[in-house]
Chains A and B, each alone.
Chain A
Amino acid sequence: MQVFKLCLKILKKNIRSLLIYIVLFLGISTIMASSASTEQNTDFSFTKSKARLAIISEESTPLTAGLQQELAKIAHLVALPDEIEALQDALYFRTVSYILRIPKGFSEKIMRGQPVKLHKTVIPNSYSNAYLDLSIDQYLNSARLYVEQIEDLSQEELVQFLQKDLAVETAVEIKTNDRQAAKQTYSQYFFNYLSYSLLSILILGLSALLLVFNNQDLQKRNACAPLSTANVNRQFVLAVLVFTVLTWLVMALLCLVFALKDGFTVNILYLLLNSFIFALCAASISYLIGTLVKSPNAIPAISNVVTLGLSFISGVFVPMELLGKQVLKFASFTPTYWYVTANNRLASLTKFNYTNLQPVFTSMLIQLGFALAFFAVALVLGKNRRLQ
């Protein structure tokens, strides 16, 4: 195991430059975590995350009153005059994020079991608006069910039924969903950022190792020893794997420390699996770079270009939603994109059935494909170089 030990010693000699990335990761993650927890205090207190809602009702019946009462539970009601300018201003200045208009004849249509359409004006991309939509839908659907099932139902009775039903379910459900989703968003950031640190460490470590290993004079000298090439390569690959797994373990542990602060979820297990697969892919990229690079001075520059480049276009530093379509399309030819895609999807999952996980598994498979491809290219190039 002389060669194996040698490889570990060479890696150990380079550990100082690798530690920088771990410290960097710790620093940035701590900042992210602390900002996350302060947001948590305000955001998670249920009342404050309420959407600001204005209801313009063109009729006044027990049913509209019931709907208003129900929505008041999950939103902050704001009274506005029914004037176009006033409504526009309110939206513009964010006095409200949702304006609901109940048209004339609404109650009558409901009681007859006819479909109704409520008109809404909203600020786009607001979480709380989505919950409002959901609640309104649920209210109307439940109302239709009652009207269909019970004959000669009065508006007052219907309102009472609905009140009982919805009071229990919706409020509770929204609350849990909300908290879980928010929490996972943060672990997703740690794990996304992990790709940058992991790749940096592996590129620096493995190219330093390969540079020594591919040195012609040393290769020749080692070939004089009674040791088969296959044996040497086995020990070398073993060292590469050990280094990869160790690096992953350290980084994953750090991620866990941050992610577990808010309690354990199944999502974390899948995030860990995804990060391990990415680690294999990163090792393979590093192997390729190590085979191509000819001077130790070039390693840091190449490492920076590759890791920063991949991280920026693949949504590690900047959320994918903010990146252009072209950029993302280009990014999809890189493994980091698929790693982040899988992470983002995993973060929003609450049910782990095959249908939900299938895109995640696809992303993982694509990453493994990249790993194999890079490794194969490295082997071919390495062989050509040795023949020279």
Chain B
Amino acid sequence: MIVSVKNLVKRYDDLLAIDHLNLTVHDGEVFGLLGPNGSGKTTAINCILALLEYDKGEIEIFGRPMKPEAYDIKRHIGVVMQNVAVYNELTVEENINYFCGLYVADKKLRQELVREAIEFVGLQEFTKYYPKKLSGGLLRRLNIACGIAHKPKLIILDEPTVAVDPQSRNKILEGILELNQQGATIIYTTHYMEEVEQICSRIMIIDKGRSIAVGTKDELKAMITLGEKITVESQRITAAQLSALRRLPNIVSAEYKNRLLVIKSSKGSNNLETVLEFIKQEKIQFGKIYSELPTLNDVFLEITGKQLRD
């Protein structure tokens, strides 16, 4: 067990930011912490890192209690903060060297590590740049390089891809998987469900400081009753057809809006077949037709009654 959080409670004055949170991260996992803005992800991370005092709870990392002065634990943790934390007065290379130097005293070894980190995030051409001259995506990559250069056993990333274009984001996500394959355990927080689905082996969904569901993405999706969502592009659907559709077995809802027919089914097989059969029978003209499996947003929606993102 790499990280264990038991009954964590954190209050900001009147606001209960973390409400009896329990969490375990196992060796070699990519653990995703998914929650909307203000759900308490950053607060949870800060508590885990002993940067914040908390009201109640126990936190252990590598099997030992985590405290501000637990330097032998901190030595093996890599941190990528939500707010980019680099020195504008230092170049890309100097920044990575500085942060790596907080963990690795040996100069030769450090040089090698810094070089590897620069290659890892693909900043080779920008080593002499000052952060002010970097684009948002490159700056995020620098932030990541500063956090992982010392090859930590546990890497905690707090929304490392905010405001990053899709291409940079994919590179970052691939990099994180690579770090995991090299043996690092990862904790990854985000409010993008796509990211979590893409890289996380286990996911915790949190809302208002409470854990509302934990498991692999398949386990999470299995928790809800919703099955696939079928969308049909069609010029004309009559009200009679719509109500007939709703009466079909396993169909939860059917809506027609903006020339799009959206049908939600509950779990079960052959849902798509049933719908196609109906369309054929009714001789409905259609353009495109496609079916989607439920997303984590659907999971979130079904448990909390609101969207993950608005």
Q: What is the size, in residues, of chain B's interface with A at 8 Å between Cβ atoms?
A: 26
Which A residue sits closest to B90, measured CB to CB? A9
Please name all residues of chain A whose beta carbon is closer than 8 Å to the beta carbon of B77 when the two chains form the complex.
224
Please name all residues of chain B whose beta carbon is closer than 8 Å to the beta carbon of A2 when the two chains form the complex.
98, 101-102
Contact of B90 among A6, A14, A224, A225 (CB under 8 A): A6
Q: Which residues of B contact A (CB under 8 A)?
A: 46, 49, 51, 68-69, 71-72, 74-75, 77, 79, 81, 83-85, 87-90, 94, 98-99, 101-103, 146
* Residues A212 and B89 in contact, CB atoms below 8 Å apart: yes
Please name all residues of chain B whose beta carbon is closer than 8 Å to the beta carbon of A224 when the two chains form the complex.
49, 51, 74, 77, 79
The reply to whether the CB of A90 lies closer than 8 angstroms to some CB of chain B is: no
What are 5 A-B pairs at a CB distance below 8 A? Answer: A2-B98, A9-B90, A10-B89, A212-B88, A217-B83
Please name all residues of chain B whose beta carbon is closer than 8 Å to the beta carbon of A220 when the two chains form the complex.
46, 51, 81, 85
B306 to chain A, nearest CB (A): 30
- Secondary structure class of chain B's binding surface, majority of residues: loop
Which B residue sits closest to A10, measured CB to CB? B89
Please name all residues of chain B whose beta carbon is closer than 8 Å to the beta carbon of A6 when the two chains form the complex.
87, 90, 98
Please name all residues of chain A whose beta carbon is closer than 8 Å to the beta carbon of B84 when the two chains form the complex.
217
A67 to chain B, nearest CB (A): 74
B68 to chain A, nearest CB (A): 7
A36 to B120, CA, bound (A): 64
Contact of A13 among B83, B89, B102 (CB under 8 A): B89
* Residues A227 and B102 in contact, CB atoms below 8 Å apart: yes
Interface size class of A (residues with CB under 8 A): 20 to 34
Contact of A212 among B51, B71, B87, B103 (CB under 8 A): B87
Within 8 A of B (CB), among A195-230: 212, 215, 217-218, 220-228
Contact of A218 among B69, B72, B75, B87 (CB under 8 A): B87
Contact of A223 among B68, B87, B98 (CB under 8 A): B68
- The proximity string for A residues 215-257 relative to B, scoring 1 for CB distances below 8 Å and 0 otherwise, is 1011011111111100000000000000000000000000000
A218 to B90, CA, bound (A): 13
A46 to B180, CA, bound (A): 88
* Residues A228 and B69 in contact, CB atoms below 8 Å apart: yes
- Secondary structure class of chain A's binding surface, majority of residues: helix
Known: A224-B49, A225-B103, A226-B103. A217 touches B87 (CB 8 A): no
| Count of chain A to chain B residue pairs whose CB atoms are closer than 8 Å in the complex | 56
Please name all residues of chain A whose beta carbon is closer than 8 Å to the beta carbon of B87 when the two chains form the complex.
6, 10, 212, 218
- The proximity string for A residues 1-39 relative to B, scoring 1 for CB distances below 8 Å and 0 otherwise, is 010011001100110000000000000000000000000
Please name all residues of chain A whose beta carbon is closer than 8 Å to the beta carbon of B51 when the two chains form the complex.
220, 223-224
Which A residue sits closest to B52, measured CB to CB? A220
A197 to B87, CA, bound (A): 28
A36 to B256, CA, bound (A): 95
A6 to B99, CA, bound (A): 10
Please name all residues of chain A whose beta carbon is closer than 8 Å to the beta carbon of B72 when the two chains form the complex.
226
Which A residue sits closest to B72, measured CB to CB? A226
Please name all residues of chain B whose beta carbon is closer than 8 Å to the beta carbon of A221 when the two chains form the complex.
79, 81, 85, 99, 146
Which A residue sits closest to B146, measured CB to CB? A221
Please name all residues of chain A whose beta carbon is closer than 8 Å to the beta carbon of B89 when the two chains form the complex.
9-10, 13-14, 212
Which A residue sits closest to B100, measured CB to CB? A2
A212 to B98, CA, bound (A): 14
Which A residue sits closest to B101, measured CB to CB? A2
A258 to B310, CA, bound (A): 70
Which B residue sits closest to A220, measured CB to CB? B51
A312 to B62, CA, bound (A): 62
A221 to chain B, nearest CB (A): 4
Q: Which of B49, B99, B102 has the most CB of A within 10 A?
A: B102
A66 to B88, CA, bound (A): 80
A227 to B105, CA, bound (A): 12
B139 to chain A, nearest CB (A): 13
A363 to B130, CA, bound (A): 46
A9 to B88, CA, bound (A): 11
A6 to B100, CA, bound (A): 13
Please name all residues of chain A whose beta carbon is closer than 8 Å to the beta carbon of B85 when the two chains form the complex.
215, 217-218, 220-221
A130 to B98, CA, bound (A): 66
Contact of B71 among A14, A217, A228 (CB under 8 A): A228
A13 to B68, CA, bound (A): 32
Please name all residues of chain B whose beta carbon is closer than 8 Å to the beta carbon of A226 when the two chains form the complex.
71-72, 74-75, 102-103
